[in-house]
Structure 1
C-alpha cells in the first residue's frame, strides 16, 4: 500500500536551528492552518489534570468520538484525524503534552532543562490514567516522539536527552534498558486499559526523519540539485533503520498482542527505496522532526479502511 514518491527536496522548511530550539527547548508543536504548507509553531495547550468526565461529560476531551493523545508528534496528526472525522461525522479532540510518552504507571524523568515539560507530562499522565477509560471515545489515536525515551541520546548525555521512563519510586537516572523495560509494561498497561474499556486504539510509530539528518537536510535551498536530494533521502533511510526501526518493532509487538489495536509505521508511507522528505515534489515536513498536514495525511490515508473497521460497532464492543 505505500505510495511511491519522487525524490525532490523540500524547499520551504523552517530553519532547522530555530525549529529544533522551539520543539526541544520549549516543547511546542506546529499548529497547522494551511492544509499542506509548513506553518509557524506555538505552544501546546495546557492539559487540565483535574478534569472529571463524570462531572463534565460535555467537554471536548470527555465527549469526543476520537481522541488524539501524546506529545507534539501526536498533535501533528490531529488535522488529518479531524479531516477523517468530518467525513464520518465524528467529533475529534486532542489531549497532548510536550515531550510526553503516554504510559500508565511509569514515572517520567526529564533532564534538568526540561522541568516544565516534566510537570506538564505529569499532569497529562494523571489525567489519562484517571479519565481516558471514562470518556466517550470509540477510538484513541496515540503517538509520540518515542525515541526521546526509547533511544540513546545522540550526544551530551542526560542533560540533552529529554526523558527517561522508570518504575514508581525509582531514584536516579535509569539506563536505556530499564527505560525500555518500563515502557514495555507501562505502555502495555495503557493499551490493556483502553481496550478493556471497549475502545479501539491506533498507535502511530516513530518517524523515519531524525534530528541530525533533519538539520543537514532542512538547510538545503531551492537550488539543491537532484543528487543532493537523493543523498539526503538515502541518509534518512539509514538513520531510520539504525534508530527508529527497533522502536517501531517494539511498538508493533505490543499492538499485535492485543485485539482492536492497529499499529501504523510511518515508514510504510514515507519510505520506499529511501525515506523521502517530499510527496510528488511537495514538502511533507514542517521542520526537522514534525510532519505538516500533507505529511500526516500521507501517513494515515492508507490505513483509513482499517480505521473504519475499528470504528464499527462490532469491533468496538466491549
Structure 2
C-alpha cells in the first residue's frame, strides 16, 4: 500500500469479505484554532472509522518539549488498541483534507513500528470520500480492541541540536507559511523567524486546488529544487511537529526517499526551539 490511498481503493479494502483484512480507519479531523473534529465525526464518518484526538491522543502534554510533543509509547499503544489496531493491520488515516493531521497519524504509526506498506493517508481526506459518493455513518464506532505493541524508533526523530546541524551541513525544511518563516509574523510562539540554515517549504503547497496531494512527479521536482535528493541528510520541522510530518510523507510519496530511509522529523519544532532563548534565530527570505 502506497503512503497515499484513493477513496475508491479504501472503499474496496473496507469491503473485503474477511473483516480481519479490512483496514482500521482513523478519523483525525482537526482544525488548528478551530472547532474540534469530534462533532464532525459524530455527525458523519467513514463506516467503522474511529475518532482520534490529535491534541489529546497523538501528542504528549505541551511544554518546553513543544506544543505537540510525541506521546509516550504506552499512551499511543492504548489509543491504537482502543481504535482496533492489531499486529498486521492495515491503517488509513484521514482528516478534513489539508493533509497535515493525517500525516501526523501516519508518521506516528510508522514511528511506532508499523511497516510502510501497512499505513496510508486518504487522498483528499473526508471531503474526497463524500465527493466520491461513498457511504457514511453517524454515531460512535465500537471496534474489537486491538493488540498492537508500539515499538518506538521506526522513524528518525531530531532534537534541537540535530536540527541546528542539518541547517548548517544538510537540508532542513521549514513547513510553516512564508511570513512566519521570514519572521514577519508569529501568531503562536514567542519569537518570529526560523532555524538558521532552514529552507522554506510550506506544507500548504503540497495539496492542490482539488484538495488532493500533488502528483509524485510534481512533488519530486519541488523537493529536488530544495536539495532533498540523493544521499544527503535531510529533516523537517514546523511550528509544533504536525505540518512537518506532511513534508516527511510527501518526500516519500515523491519517491525521493525510500521507506527505509525517510527524512528526519524535528518533533519539538519551532515551539521547542524558541523555548530556549539562547538558540539563534534567522529572519528574512534566505536560509
Q: Structure 2-normalised TM-score?
A: 0.28
Q: Structure 1-normalised TM-score?
A: 0.26
More helix by proportion, 1 or 2? 1
**Higher RCO structure (Cα 8 Å, ≥6 apart):** 1
